[in-house]
Chain A
Amino acid sequence: MNAEVLKGHLDLLLLAAVQARPAHGYAIAVALRARSGHAFDLAEGTLYPALHRLERGGLLASRWAEVNGRRRRVYQLTRNGQRALAREHAEWRTFVRAVDAVVEGC
């Protein structure tokens, strides 16, 4: 999938990737790739500026932690992030239903 298409939904994907448990950047990239069935063609390095923005916006919190003997920046959802995820997910479902209805009606 084209990176430009992804950009509009990146926040939702990143928030969803840390929904179940806190994760560091590489684990988030792996989760996005695996859960999407390798559909997302996104430069992994571009995730970090977006993660930092979400953190500045109060939707994610992060801390340095030792993971498998290495120092990693681990991200987790804040309460605002959980609300934003629920809101964006609901909007996404509405959008998908609407597009499906139009396309399948043709």
Chain B
Amino acid sequence: MASRQVETYLKQLADALAARRAWDARILDEARAHLHDAIDAGIQRGLAPDAAEREAVAAFGRPEVVAARAAVEQKHYHDCRPHAVLNRLLGAFCWFTLFATSYLSLSVVILHPPRLNYPAWVLMAGFFVAQSALTLVTTGGSVRGNWVRRSLMAGGIALTSIGAWWVHETVSGPHFEGYALVLGSCVAIQGILTLVRLLPIGGPWFIVQPK
């Protein structure tokens, strides 16, 4: 159903959104559907089509008001971008740690290196995998709560310490081990990112209502 008033309104809304640098095709699609529903409801209540259109457009709000709200919400979204970037970066390090730990564990099983402390490796690999997996499900939004936050914080401190110690031992020790340098650096950075991501109180894991 094409309605002149609706189309005029949508054009004004598109212009207002563009003027606010908040142009969004989805809002326009949803606005069109919303207005047609509202017009149908008005006609069912006994209004003339013209009156129903006027009422629907008025209830939807002036284009400037809707556009202003969209601009505020989008600005808030862009303001939150650092959190999103940090999430992706942290996720990438978690995946790399999972991959590197699995690869090295497989190498250990196949090659049986004589100088390796096997119990220590099993403990460390288990910790790396558990911490990375918990971080991934938490940043993905599947898990939340104070116990998760505390566990990840403790894990982040442990990761940073282990990674830094590992890198230090490798660089200053007599035997240079490439895998230790790479995985040590990776888990140390992952630990630091985890701490940075969790430290702002009430921020990153929560949705903040824009003012």
- For A79, what are the chain B residues with a Cβ–Cβ distance below 8 Å? 142
Interface magnitude class on chain A: 20 to 34
- For A10, what are the chain B residues with a Cβ–Cβ distance below 8 Å? 209
- For A73, what are the chain B residues with a Cβ–Cβ distance below 8 Å? 26, 29-30, 33
Complex Cα spacing A25 to B59, Å: 13
Q: In the bound complex, do residue A45 and residue B31 qualify as a contact, i.e. CB atoms below 8 Å apart?
A: yes
- For B142, what are the chain A residues with a Cβ–Cβ distance below 8 Å? 79
Which residue, of B34, B41, B74, B141, has the highest number of chain A Cβ atoms within 10 A?
A: B34
- For B31, what are the chain A residues with a Cβ–Cβ distance below 8 Å? 45, 48
Q: In the bound complex, do residue B33 and residue A49 qualify as a contact, i.e. CB atoms below 8 Å apart?
A: no
- For A44, what are the chain B residues with a Cβ–Cβ distance below 8 Å? 34, 38, 59-61
Q: In the bound complex, do residue B33 and residue A26 qualify as a contact, i.e. CB atoms below 8 Å apart?
A: yes
Return B192 CB to nearest CB of chain A, in Å: 25
Interface check A94, CB cutoff 8 A: no
**What residues make up the interface of B, taking CB atoms closer than 8 Å to A?**
13, 24, 26-27, 29-31, 33-34, 36-38, 41, 59-62, 65-66, 69-70, 72-74, 76-77, 141-142, 144, 207, 209-210
Complex Cα spacing A89 to B39, Å: 33
- For A59, what are the chain B residues with a Cβ–Cβ distance below 8 Å? 207
Interface check A46, CB cutoff 8 A: yes
Which residue, of A26, A56, A79, has the highest number of chain B Cβ atoms within 10 A?
A: A26
Q: In the bound complex, do residue A43 and residue B209 qualify as a contact, i.e. CB atoms below 8 Å apart?
A: no
Known: A26-B33, A72-B33. A46 touches B209 (CB 8 A): no
Residue of B whose beta carbon sits closest to that of A71 = B33
Interface string of A11-48 (1 = CB under 8 A from B): 10000000000001110011000000000000111101
Return A79 CB to nearest CB of chain B, in Å: 7
Return A32 CB to nearest CB of chain B, in Å: 12
Known: A25-B30, A43-B60. A49 touches B65 (CB 8 A): no
Complex Cα spacing A71 to B34, Å: 10
Residue of A whose beta carbon sits closest to that of B1 = A70
Question: What 9 A-B pairs come out closest when comparing CB atoms?
Answer: A43-B61, A45-B66, A49-B73, A57-B207, A26-B37, A46-B69, A49-B70, A58-B141, A45-B61
- For A7, what are the chain B residues with a Cβ–Cβ distance below 8 Å? 209
Return A13 CB to nearest CB of chain B, in Å: 12
